[in-house]
Structure 1
Amino acid sequence: MLKIFICEDDLGQLKHLEKIIKNYIMIEDYFMEFTLASTNPYEIISYLDSHENIRGVYFLDVDLKTEINGIQLGAKIREKDQDGKIIFVTTRAEMQHLTFQYRIEALDYIIKDQPEIMQHKIHECLKIADKHYRSTDKIEKDRIKLKINNQIKVFLLQDILFFETTAIPRKIKLHLFNEELEFYGVLNDIETLSDNFIRIHQSFIINKQNIKEINNKEKQITMINGEICYSSRRGLKILKKI
């Protein structure tokens, strides 16, 4: 699901943008959710720092009246969300060239002076973002991206057995058929990456397509390579429904 972010220093403009966007995604039934609207650019950065694999649509003012402007915020967003759609909504037409200097690849640069045109362009940006997301989502349903050792790595779902927590806080172990990898993250974020992933226990997420056997009595799930994961009662109930 695409996450919507707004960063605008004027609270009135912030609420206005939020209303335009929320109304349109509800009417069009886009696969989007409103995540964060803030006057503080560092809240956006903090959110992206604490969540993996975000796919977002970002509406940014340019003059944020903070240590960083909207263009610089856009550059930081681009580092963390390479496929994100960044839209500038501003009165500062003269700063548009900076989007090229910072290599932000903005979807649009919308001037606020004409409200009706501004609203139309926001709608068009949401339409484009949704269309792009749906087209890439079909391709990416058989794979996921994970950040491991400061690199984005792509894994085919069919190669993934399960994830488990480790003794080190926020460190997760990924079990593949012929390899184990550790990386920092949280299982709550991993769980949302694929419909194939099932949270069977506080410490385990399994790939349902690679289950070999379910032992309800022992609360054990055997994967097709022979490795065993432990399930809670709730996890077993979820597995019965698949």
Structure 2
Amino acid sequence: MLSIFVCEDDKVQRRQILQQIEKAIMIEDFDMKIVFETGNPEALLNYLKGNKGLTGLYFLDVDLQHQMNGIELASKIRDYDDLGKIIFITTHSEMTYLTFTYKVEAMDYIIKDDNQLLRERIHECIKVANRRHNNDINEEKKSLSIKVGDRLVSLSHDEIMFFETSPQSHKMIVHLENAEYEYYGSIKDVEVLDQQFVKCHKSFVVNTDRIKNVRVKEREIEMTNGEICLVSFRMLKVVKEIVKGMVN
């Protein structure tokens, strides 16, 4: 079962969100359940602290009228549930950049000014989360565990965009869809992780499944999230063969 959590300080809006979630679960007949709803981010964190091991789907308001905003809350949620799926529901579209500042990988960012759009997006997020959760359970996915600060983070190979060497000695940076982690490691370790990873440059190892385009003249690789990696002249031919049809 996928556990669902809602943190929204406005009681009326929280009730509306809960109703839409419950309606989507009923229509799709998914194995999901709202296990905790609150307007207090500290209460949610305390619940997770006392119920470790849960994998959740989180609907979080950004402006919680609390010293902790929803994006800061999401960052702390990662301490307990690094594989959880996070959705922000807010009127503050201008704050999306904070998901990068706090390195929070969000599944969606829904603006709640339009009730019709809100209902549709919640329903769609429920379906996507269910599909991804079932894939996580039913498929034995390869993963990489890295130590970030004092915590251990598990990353599916499929969610990794690329690795690059850090300016800091003996460190690597792993890039995800809209997050990144710096950790102690070497490029030699990641280039042999799996056949989908290719060392395209002395400083970059890319997930070939996540390549969007190869720019031959610029010797650049564009990833599906828009980030750019360098590719050496020697590796251009290899990369071109892997991603035929994507070369400019």
Give the TM bin, normalised by the shorter chain: 0.5 to 0.7
Code of the residue aligned with 1:84 in structure 2: it is G
Code of the residue aligned with 1:105 in structure 2: it is E
Structure 1 CA distance for aligned equivalents of residues 84 and 139 of structure 2:
17
Alpha-carbon RMSD across the aligned residues, in angstroms, is: 2.0
Structure 2 CA distance for aligned equivalents of residues 79 and 107 of structure 1:
17
**Alignment match, 1:56:** 56
**Alignment match, 2:138:** 138
State how many pairs are aligned.
147
Alpha-carbon distance change, 61 to 32 in structure 1, aligned in 2, over 3 angstroms: same
**Alignment match, 2:9:** 9
- 2:91 maps to 1:78: no
TM normalised by structure 2 equals 0.56
Structure 2 CA distance for aligned equivalents of residues 91 and 58 of structure 1:
17
After superposition, what is the alpha-carbon deviation per residue over 1:76-108, rounded to whole angstroms, capped at 9, x for unaligned? 112211111100000011101000111110000
Higher Rg? 1
**Alignment match, 2:18:** 18
What is the identity percentage for the equivalent residue pairs of Structure 1 and Structure 2?
A: 45
**1:139: how far off?**
2.7
**1:28: how far off?**
0.6
After superposition, what is the alpha-carbon deviation per residue over 1:88-138, rounded to whole angstroms, capped at 9, x for unaligned? 000011101000111110000100111111111111111110000111111
Q: Which runs of 5+ in 2 are unaligned?
A: 142-149, 155-248
Q: Which runs of 5+ in 1 are unaligned?
A: 142-149, 155-242
The 3-state SS of whatever aligns with 1:80 is coil
**Alignment match, 2:35:** 35
**1:140: how far off?**
5.3
Whether contact under 8 Å (2:82, 2:153) holds in the other structure is no
**Alignment match, 1:222:** none
**Alignment match, 1:104:** 104
**Alignment match, 1:95:** 95
Structure 2 CA distance for aligned equivalents of residues 75 and 151 of structure 1:
13
After superposition, what is the alpha-carbon deviation per residue over 1:146-166, rounded to whole angstroms, capped at 9, x for unaligned? xxxx76699xxxxxxxxxxxx
The 3-state SS of whatever aligns with 1:3 is strand
Q: How does 1:55-204 map to 2 (within 5 A)?
A: 55-139=55-139
Structure 1 CA distance for aligned equivalents of residues 151 and 76 of structure 2:
16
Code of the residue aligned with 2:42 in structure 1: it is Y
TM normalised by structure 1 equals 0.58
